[in-house]
């Protein structure tokens, strides 16, 4: 009998005998308790719900559970037996009773003082009227079990949601202060937005929904067990969370998204947080982690999804690391989950979602032991969602649990820009699909069917109203009915909309250069490897008043030295982890080479409309020294008395990205191409260049490829562009352009 069949047979037999998964875990753990009574345990309950009964389905919540599980085991040292997953696919189902019983049995009954406890919920959220009216808006947030029921009584909708009040009581009952609760759901919105699915039940009149008798009785039982009066409960709840920290994927009035990635769906926030924690090299404060994860979440979802954190009052919990626990292993892009003969399967939880497509094949990893020592090399051969497969190309065969760190990636030359077709196109969608297919390297994709990079649609009255009401941006709103581009979360791409009355064919013809520049920007951003690069490079941005704006550095190369450069506080306003700079602000970049050898560097800027410009090199000659930054050198851009330009923040509004690329080999093709363009335009050295000619990106990628291929023990597609982490460091600074800070 095969092992999997044996496990299935045993599970069904135990179910027949009435022995649950929780019973088995409790009994088996008695031995562990006697052996390690003085060792703090790490307990986790992970709940994910996709297939709601009679409610709108979600698609990424079970992936969230797996994302958390792999991270907790392989990065934070949790024992698999101490992690209980409750999903559509597990023996214990995420019903109301299943979730509450699992919380009581797995967390409350087992946790001892000093133990680390994690509870994660991914699914629908909602709100109900608060019977005590002690919430600021008279509503209490809830999370929704798979079997949620609604009953009408006396004009009220009584629902079986699990309230925030109940979660507070359950947390209070845990006999440890080291509790982390992560909620990847939201409480308003519902339905779909662009290519995203909103994790909320659509209750347009939440004040007509109330907790049912079962929920209220359950709360009374816990108040009695905790010997807590109703008045004490309300007062404490208004002041603080019950234990540890609570991390929410979005504010009460914001949207939390189920987001399509390349080959799978997941919570935008859960993916961003777990991927970041795979890469984090130090044990930074959870509050600092969340600020950085906010920026990543906005990329995968919308700028309207800003994660929040609340820690128990008068404690140090927000100053401690995530999960109130130090990481146990080195950072990594992946972890080996299975070895079958010479085939190695691995979990790619540490790879940035924007780069996943290029990890399908040819990527090279070093596999390292728990101490970070390299033991061998693996090259990827295929990928299905977050599970990659590969072969050993050097050294020993890794065991399950071995960590994989990136050595090289290969960027195919046939990558496309995926354009979603919005419902606002109506009957023109079929015509649009055919027309887009005629544009080189543009792939039309139906919404809700997979990853898209941008959405083509009309400007609707609803979206125009949203844009007008965005006070921080004060965007110039396109005409209703005009054609243009949106992000996957339906935030408009500046300078992409035409005039009302423009035909679809005219719009597509107008957008051709835009598609080309957006594709070029995507390609160059696929080189970004700041988490894995081993070079020692750093970039800072400051205002001319020397106010620190942002920094970027090669994490594994530069390490903690960024702390020497970054002040502990700065007057620059930051929202969702992104610094805000008003139009007209003058800034200066500082790029630093901390290698003991010279580097060749390029600095490009990509604005919110997808247009690019090059800041460095800016001397239009073919001599390789034009891009040289000597060992130990700090170069200022612009450099006073040398450069003929100023870096002044300008429109379009929205996020602007600064890409800093360092190479150990010269950028010959890049300089040759820049010289030709400068001559054609009549530019003088020291001036800025807009990259309307996207051939510069192709030249830069060829230079990176030429410098990366030598010395690698691997075979690559001859047409791909290889990026070697020992020879290339590509970093990113993001800031948001706004009209005014007032």
Residue of 106, 120, 165, 186 marked active site: 186
Strands 334-340 and 403-411: antiparallel
Cα 256 from Cα 200, distance rounded (Å): 8
Residue 61 a catalytic site member: no
**Span between the terminal Cα atoms of the chain, in Å:** 70
Q: Strands 192-193, 245-248: parallel, antiparallel or unpaired by DSSP?
A: unpaired
Report the side by side order of strands in the sheet with 156-159. 150-153, 156-159, 209-211
Enumerate the β-bridge partners of residue 445: 420
Cβ-proximal residues to 659 (8 Å cutoff; 6+ apart), any chain? 524, 525, 528, 602, 603, 604, 605, 606, 730, 731, 732
Q: Specify burial of residue 699 (Cβ count, 10 A radius: 0-12, 13-18, 19+).
A: buried
CA distance 178 to 113: 8
Minimal CA–CA distance to 270: which of 363, 364, 386, 182?
Answer: 182
Query: Smallest Cα–Cα separation from 81: which of 134, 43, 34, 123?
Result: 43
Identify how many contiguous H helices and E strands the chain contains and give both numbers: 15, 40
The active-site residue, picked from 106, 120, 124, 187, is: 124
- The answer to whether the CB of 178 falls within 8 A of the CB of 196 is no
Active site residue 124: yes
Contact predicate 256/249, CB 8 Å? yes
Q: What angle separates helix 695-708 from helix 668-681, to the nearest 10 degrees?
A: 160
Residue 556: helix, strand or coil by DSSP?
A: helix
Secondary structure of residue 117 in the 3-state scheme: strand
Q: Is omega for the bond preceding 652 within 30 degrees of 0, making it cis?
A: yes
Query: By three-state DSSP, how is residue 446 classified?
Result: strand
**Whole-number Å distance between alpha carbons of 63 and 59:** 8
Cα(565)–Cα(733) distance, rounded to whole angstroms?
15
Nearest residue to 441 (alpha-carbon basis) of 500, 523, 502: 523
Contacts of 655 (CB under 8 A, 6+ apart): 578, 608, 734, 735, 736, 737
Sheet holding 139-143, edge to edge: 125-129, 139-143, 162-163
Helix (H, G, I), strand (E, B) or coil at 486: strand
φ, ψ of residue 244 to 5 degrees: the values are 55, -125
HEC letters along 133-150: CCCCCCEEEEECCCCCCE
Question: Which residues have a catalytic role annotated?
Answer: 124, 186
């Amino acid at each position: 009998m095969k092992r999997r069949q044996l496990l299935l047979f045993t599970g069904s037999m135990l179910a027949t005998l009435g022995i649950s998964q929780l019973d088995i875990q409790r009994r088996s753990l008695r031995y562990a308790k006697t052996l390690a009574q003085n060792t703090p345990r790490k307990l986790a309950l992970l709940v994910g719900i996709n297939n709601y009964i009679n409610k709108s389905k979600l698609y990424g919540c079970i992936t969230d559970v797996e994302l958390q599980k792999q991270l907790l085991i392989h990065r934070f040292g949790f024992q698999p037996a101490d992690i209980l997953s409750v999903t559509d696919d597990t023996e214990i189902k995420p019903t109301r009773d299943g979730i509450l019983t699992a919380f009581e049995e797995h967390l409350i009954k087992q946790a001892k003082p000093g133990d680390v406890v994690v509870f994660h919920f991914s699914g629908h959220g909602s709100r109900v009227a608060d019977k005590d009216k002690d919430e600021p808006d008279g509503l209490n947030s809830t999370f929704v079990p798979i079997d949620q029921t609604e009953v009408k009584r006396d004009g009220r909708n009584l629902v079986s949601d699990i309230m925030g009040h109940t979660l507070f009581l359950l947390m209070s009952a845990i006999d440890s202060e080291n509790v982390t609760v992560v909620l990847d759901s939201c409480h308003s919105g519902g339905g779909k937005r662009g290519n995203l699915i909103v994790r909320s039940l659509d209750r347009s009149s939440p004040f007509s929904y109330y907790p049912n008798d079962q929920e209220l009785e359950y709360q009374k039982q816990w108040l009695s067990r905790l010997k807590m009066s109703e008045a004490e409960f309300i007062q404490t709840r208004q002041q603080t969370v019950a234990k540890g920290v609570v991390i929410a994927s979005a504010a009460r009035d914001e949207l939390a998204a189920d987001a399509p990635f390349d080959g799978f769906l997941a919570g935008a926030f859960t993916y961003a947080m777990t991927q970041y924690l795979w890469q984090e090299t130090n044990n930074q404060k959870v509050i600092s982690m969340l600020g950085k994860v906010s920026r990543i979440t906005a990329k995968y979802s919308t700028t309207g999804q800003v994660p929040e954190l609340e820690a128990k009052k008068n404690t140090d919990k927000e100053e401690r690391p995530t999960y109130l626990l130090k990481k146990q292993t080195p950072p990594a892009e992946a972890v080996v989950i299975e070895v079958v003969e010479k085939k190695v399967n691995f979990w790619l939880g540490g790879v940035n979602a924007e780069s996943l497509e290029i990890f399908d094949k040819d990527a090279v990893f070093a596999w390292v032991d728990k101490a970070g020592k390299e033991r061998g090399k693996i090259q990827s051969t295929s990928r299905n969602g977050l599970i990659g497969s590969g072969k050993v190309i050097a050294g020993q065969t890794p065991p399950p649990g071995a960590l994989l760190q990136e050595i090289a990636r290969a960027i195919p030359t046939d990558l496309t820009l995926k354009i979603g077709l919005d419902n606002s196109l109506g009957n023109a969608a079929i015509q649009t699909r055919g027309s887009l297919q005629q544009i080189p390297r543009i792939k039309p994709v139906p919404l809700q069917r997979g990853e898209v990079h941008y959405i083509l649609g009309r400007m609707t009255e609803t979206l125009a109203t949203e844009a007008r009401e965005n006070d921080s941006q004060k965007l110039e709103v396109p005409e209703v009915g005009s054609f243009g581009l949106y992000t996957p979360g339906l935030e408009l791409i500046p300078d992409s909309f035409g005039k009302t009355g423009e035909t679809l064919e005219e719009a597509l013809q107008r957008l051709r250069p835009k598609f080309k520049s957006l594709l070029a920007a995507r390609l160059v951003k696929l080189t970004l490897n700041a988490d894995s690069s081993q070079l020692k490079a750093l970039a800072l941005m400051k205002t001319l008043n020397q106010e620190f704006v942002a920094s970027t550095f090669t994490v594994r190369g530069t390490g903690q030295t960024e702390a020497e450069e970054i002040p502990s506080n700065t007057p620059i306003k930051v929202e969702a982890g992104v610094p805000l700079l008003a139009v007209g602000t003058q800034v200066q970049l500082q790029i630093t080479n901390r290698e003991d050898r010279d580097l060749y560097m390029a600095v490009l800027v990509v604005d919110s409309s997808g247009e690019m410009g090059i800041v460095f090199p800016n001397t239009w000659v073919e001599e390789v020294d034009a891009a040289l930054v000597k060992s130990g050198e700090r170069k200022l851009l612009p450099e006073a008395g040398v450069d003929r330009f100023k870096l002044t923040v300008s429109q379009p509004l929205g996020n602007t990205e600064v890409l800093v690329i360092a190479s150990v080999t010269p950028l010959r093709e890049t300089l040759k191409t820049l010289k030709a363009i400068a001559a054609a335009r009549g530019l003088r050295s020291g001036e800025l260049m807009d990259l309307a000619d996207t051939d510069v990106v192709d030249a830069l990628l060829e230079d990176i490829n030429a410098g990366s291929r030598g010395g690698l023990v691997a075979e690559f597609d001859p047409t791909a562009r290889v990026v070697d982490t020992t020879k290339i460091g590509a970093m990113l600074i993001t800031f948001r352009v706004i009209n005014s800070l007032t």
